[in-house]
Chain A
Amino acid sequence: MAVGLVIVSHSQRLAEGVAELAGQMTQGAVKIVAAGGTDSGELGTSLEKVQRALEAADSGDGVLLLIDLGSATMVAQMALEALPEERRARVLLSDAPLVEGAVVAAVEASIGSDLAQVAATAKDAVTMDKGVGG
C-alpha cells in the first residue's frame, strides 16, 4: 500500500474538499481521509474524528497528518499522544499549507515514497510557485 493522509480542518466541507482535490491526483492509490468539523458537523475540530481517520488511513506504511489552523494543531497532537507507541512511530504531523501540502503529499505517497519523504515533500509545498509572477 502507501503512506496515508489525514486532512484535519475546522470545516467538514473544507476537509472533504481537500481530500477530493488530492485524491484526484492519485486515483485511489493513496488513502486520504477527511476529519473536518465537530462530531455534529459544525465548525471546529473533533479528537474522535481525527482518531478514527488515523485508524482508517493507516495501512501499515504510516500516515501524514495535515492540519488547517488553531485548535487543529492541539487536537492532532492529542490524537498522536493517545496512539500506542508502535503506531505513533509511523505518524507525522505536518505544518505544510493544507491544500498544496495535501496535493504534493498525495502524489509523493502514490509513487511509493516512505513517510519521511512524503512529509519532506509536503513541507516544501510552502515554497510552491503559483505562477503569479512579480
Chain B
Amino acid sequence: MAVDSAAMLAWLEKVAGRLHEQRAYLTDLDAAIGDADHGVNMDRGFTAVMAKLQAEGAPADVGAILKTVGATLVSTVGGASGPLYGTAFLRAGMALAGKTALEPDDIEDGLKAALEGIKARGKAQAGEKTMIDALEPAVAAFSAALAAGKDKRAALAATADAAEEGMRATIPLLATKGRASYLGERSRDHQDPGATSAAMILRAAADQE
C-alpha cells in the first residue's frame, strides 16, 4: 500500500514515541563524546512536530507534511541535529511536493534528497562518525532492494538493517565533524548519537509495515 498522509503521520508518531523513550540513551551517548543534549533535543523537536501536526491537522500532501516537520525541527531542536534533520525533511518534502500517496520509487527519491540535504548542510561525508554513516548505507540498501525486485516492506527492513550496521560501525571511528571532533582520539570506541537516532527513525519506518 502506498504511503498516504495517515501512514506518514503514524510513522512520525512512532518516531516521536521512540525518541521520547530513548531520550536518556541518546543523551548518554552524546555525553560521552559531545554536549549531552541529543536525546533531549530530538525529543523536544519531535514533540513539537507532533503538536504542530495535531493542532493544524496533517494535509493530504505528504510533501507538505515533510516540510512542516523540517521547519519545526529547525526551529525547536536547538542543537546541530536541528539544521541537519530539518534540512533532510525539508529536502525530502520538496522532492515529494504535491504527492498524496508515495510509491516505493517516491520513497527512494525522498530518502536520497534527505541524505543529500544532510551532506550539504553538514559539509560531511561517510566515515566521519556522523548520522551519514547510518543514512548513506541505508539509502543504498533501499535502492538495491528495489532494484532486486523486493517489495516496500522488505526494502524498508533492509534499510533499517543497513542503518543499524552503519550505526555500529561508527564505534571505532575517529570523529572529524561536530562537537565530538574536539575530543580527537578520545572520540573512538563510542557509538555516534546522530547515527543512532537516524537508525531509530528508519527502524520505525520498517516496523510500520
Contact = CB atoms under 8 A, between A and B. Distances in A.
Contact of B37 (A39, A43, A47, A74): A43
Interface string B20-55: 000000000000000101000100000000000000
Contacts of A94: none
A38 B44 CA distance: 12
Contacts of A45: 78-79, 82
A42 B145 CA distance: 43
- Chain A interface SS verdict (over half): loop
Contacts of A71: 78-83
Contacts of A75: 82-83
Nearest to B84: A74
B179 interface: yes
Interface range, A side = 10 to 19
Interface string A46-58: 1110000000000
B127 interface: no
Contacts of B122: 74
B178 A44 contact: no
Nearest to A82: B74
A78 interface: yes
B75 A46 contact: yes
Interface in B56-99: 74-84, 86-87
Contacts of B186: none
A43 B35 CA distance: 10
Contacts of A60: none
B75 A47 contact: yes
Contacts of B37: 43-44
B74 A78 contact: yes
Contacts of B83: 47, 71, 74-75, 77-78
Contacts of A74: 80, 83-84, 121-122
A124 B78 CA distance: 30
Contacts of A42: 78
Contacts of B81: 71
Interface string A71-86: 1001101100000000
Enumerate the 5 nearest inter-chain pairs by beta-carbon distance, A residue then B residue, closest first.
A44-B78, A74-B83, A71-B80, A38-B78, A70-B179
Interface of B: 35, 37, 41, 74-84, 86-87, 121-122, 178-179
7 contacts: A44-B78, A47-B74, A47-B83, A70-B35, A71-B80, A78-B83, A78-B87
